[in-house]
Chain A
Amino acid sequence: DADVTQTPRNRITKTGKRIMLECSQTKGHDRMYWYRQDPGLGLRLIYYSFDVKDINKGEISDGYSVSRQAQAKFSLSLESAIPNQTALYFCATSVLAGGQETQYFGPGTRLLVL
């Protein structure tokens, strides 16, 4: 089984709808992240969480919210989806060891907002 799973893998929604993307991990890592990936812009950080009670905004958090329900679960919500939120969304977990942080990514959710 995959260590980091994301659901759904693909989603089409309409402008104004609320949607939630879910991420689960079995790696036992405290740190979790949400990124979006767009052609020509690379991976951009939306939100991150270093433990269950910690939530931090990334560089592009406007229009998004998150919930860290447990160590293993981190969900991303789009309260009112808009077309420029069409992108590939990745969840990641990480562990910090010896000063080195390695991030492990899920398979991604492809979101299309019409």
Chain B
Amino acid sequence: QKEVEQDPGPLSVPEGAIVSLNCTYSNSAFQYFMWYRQYSRKGPELLMYTYSSGNKEDGRFTAQVDKSSKYISLFIRDSQPSDSATYLCAMNRFQKLVFGTGTRLLVSP
């Protein structure tokens, strides 16, 4: 069993939709949770970072962590075609990051 599970998608939505991206994890030692966005032919870039359970909002993006369920989510409101990318969750353990496989998101105009 992988430490971090993420549905690879693709997830196709129309412009303006609310998008929900999710990861589950098995190791309760994970302390920090991140979401990276990766455009085609580019390296991943940090989008959101959270530490505690609960929600963290940044513009159209909301990161949610539920440590009791070992479940994290990224919500995108009013999705735009420019949000089309692969979204990777990541969690730290012993000063190294463990990444999910990434979910490919396609937002159509």
Contacts and interface: CB of A to CB of B under 8 A. Distances in A.
Contact of A100 (B44, B49, B88, B99): B49
Nearest to A106: B43
B65 to A, nearest CB: 14
B25 to A, nearest CB: 13
A105 interface: yes
B83 to A, nearest CB: 19
Nearest to B99: A43
Main secondary structure of the interface of B (DSSP, over half): loop
Q: Which 4 A-B pairs have the closest CB atoms?
A: A105-B43, A42-B101, A43-B99, A42-B99
A105 B96 contact: no
B42 interface: yes
Q: Which of A40, A41, A43, A48 has the most CB of B within 10 A?
A: A43
